[in-house]
Each structure stands twice: as structure tokens, then as C-alpha cells.
Amino acid sequence: MKLYERLMTIDRRIIYGILLGVVTLPLIFPSVVKVTPMSPVEKLFTAVDNTTNDKALILDCSYSPQIKAEVEPMAIAVLRHAFKTRKKILVLSLYVEMIGLATRAINQVVEEFNSNAQTYEDSLIYGRDYVFLGWQPPPIVPMLGMGESISNIYVVDYYGNQTDTLQMMERIRNYNDISILVALSGSRIPISWVAYAQNRYGLAVGVGCTAVSGADFYPYYQTGQFTGLMVGMKGAAEYEELVEANYGVKGRRVASEAMLSLTYAHLAIILFIVIGNIGFFLHRRRK
């Protein structure tokens, strides 16, 4: 068999095996990769940072288990940032299957902070510092309804408390009291937030999305409809970097740990594409 024929007929299992090795080795033997935050992520970070004491931010954790690897690090990074800077935060999910992941992210970060807290004031207290609104179907109902009254839409929170009796909700009534909504999703939900909540109520929308959605979402960032944008695991790593660099928040940085594997995997795939093309052109020339 000639070289170009071999190049054209490499068994896919060999490619999978190489890719597995390339991804696994940097995870087992990690080394530091410097992540440089890009402008879209910096803008989101600044927007969350600029939330004033009289306002809250909403974190929409609408990501499902299949995209957890990309989006969960974003949720954790945003929560760390918000809690470290003592921003009031409302968390919600627009779909039922995402509730569990949202709960997991909140619990993890709250536990991180509370395990280091010395006093009651330092601790993160449910109802005072954060509220988990849960899930209210269909998505358009909370998107539009929270513009009028949050506690009318979410009469009870995820844990069954009357929302309007929670301390934090005394001042947080509707979108006028929200500085920014950060939508974390692998679908077109962020565009729905723009279409309904931003168009009608002027709500600022920041986005964390999967890399697959990235190319579709950049036009909305360019027009200013998205205040900031985190794309894929790289975006999450950039946000993690900003949170640690600016506020010294320590904690496991899952996305940053993956950057070396991601880089090597990309190099391997580029190599495969080059080899495939060489094989193709050699084959065509022979014909």
C-alpha cells in the first residue's frame, strides 16, 4: 500500500487512541498554562464587578449534563466572583433537568466560602446573600414576568420559602433592581433573554455558552446586545483567571486545568487535518 493510501485509510480507532493519549497525559502530568483573558470575558467580568449594593445579579444556570464540562466552570467562576465581592445573587434554571446542576454549583461555592468564614457576617447566608429561585415553566414566563415582579413569578423559591419574605428580596423587585443577567446555556436561551427581557425592559445580558454556539453568538456581542461573552472551556478559564488575579479567590480551576489538554488536542487535530489533506492531494495527483 502506498503512503498516500495509508494516510487516507488510517483506522479511526488509532486516531481516537492518539487523541485519548494527548488529552490524558497533560491531565495526569499537569503544567501551568498562562490564560490571557480576552475582551469579551473582561467585559462580562467588569459588568458583574460593577453591580452596586442596591442591585443584584441573576445567574441563569440553564445547562444540561451533556455540556457540564464546558459551562459548569463558568457558573462556579461567576458565583465565586459574586460571593467574594458580596454581590446579591439570584440563581434560576429555565429547564427542569438543569436544576440539579445549578444546585450543585451553588452548594459547592457556598461551602467553599463558608468553610473559611470566621463570623456570621463573613458567611454566605441563604436569603440574605443569595436566593435560588428554581424553575418556573415555560421559560418565557419568568423572562417577561420578572420585568414586573420577581416574587409574583417565583412565589416560592426552590426550597419552598415564600420569596417575598426573604431578606434579600425586600429590595429586589424586578429588572430595575438587576444589574446584569448572566445566562449560561448551550442553546439559544441567551438570545431569548435579549428578545424578551432586554428589548422590553432594557436588561443587560451577559452570556456563557458552549463553543459550538460561539460563532452564532459573537454578532450579538458585537452589537452590544450581549454585555460580555464567555465561549467554551477557554472562556471559563479566562474568567477563572480574572477572579483569581483580581480577588485572589483560591479553589479548583477545572477549566484552567484542562487548557493544556485542549491545546495539545487542537495541535493533534491540526496535524490530522494536514496529514489527511496531504494524502488527498497525493492521491489526486496520482490519479
Q: Which residues here bind other proteins, judged by CB under 8 A?
A: 13, 16, 19-20, 23-24, 27-28, 30, 39, 66-70, 96-97, 135, 137, 140, 191, 194-196, 198-199, 210-212, 214-216, 219, 222-225, 231-234, 252, 254, 257-258, 261-262, 265-266, 269
Nearest CB to other proteins, comparing residues 3 and 274: 274
Nearest CB to other proteins, comparing residues 106 and 262: 262
Min. distance of Cβ 7 from other proteins in angstroms?
A: 20
Min. distance of Cβ 129 from other proteins in angstroms?
A: 25
In the 8-state DSSP scheme, what is residue 195?
I
Burial class (CB in 10 A: 0-12, 13-18, 19+), 175: buried
Q: How far apart are the first and last CA of the chain?
A: 15
* CA 178/CA 131 separation, integer angstroms: 13
Residue 142's φ and ψ, nearest 5 degrees, are -65, -35
Nearest CB to other proteins, comparing residues 124 and 255: 255
CB 80 within 8 A of CB 45: no
Cα–Cα distances (Å) from 56 to 33, 129, 173, 185, 257, in that order, read 33, 10, 10, 20, 30
* CA 146/CA 152 separation, integer angstroms: 8
Min. distance of Cβ 121 from other proteins in angstroms?
A: 32
Nearest CB to other proteins, comparing residues 8 and 99: 99
Min. distance of Cβ 213 from other proteins in angstroms?
A: 8
* CA 229/CA 214 separation, integer angstroms: 9
Min. distance of Cβ 128 from other proteins in angstroms?
A: 26
Min. distance of Cβ 105 from other proteins in angstroms?
A: 14
Nearest CB to other proteins, comparing residues 68 and 128: 68
Nearest CB to other proteins, comparing residues 158 and 172: 158
Min. distance of Cβ 96 from other proteins in angstroms?
A: 5
CB 227 within 8 A of CB 206: yes
H helices present in the chain, as ranges: 3-8, 12-28, 39-49, 68-84, 99-116, 140-145, 150-153, 189-192, 199-201, 211-222, 232-247, 254-257, 259-286
Nearest CB to other proteins, comparing residues 1 and 28: 28
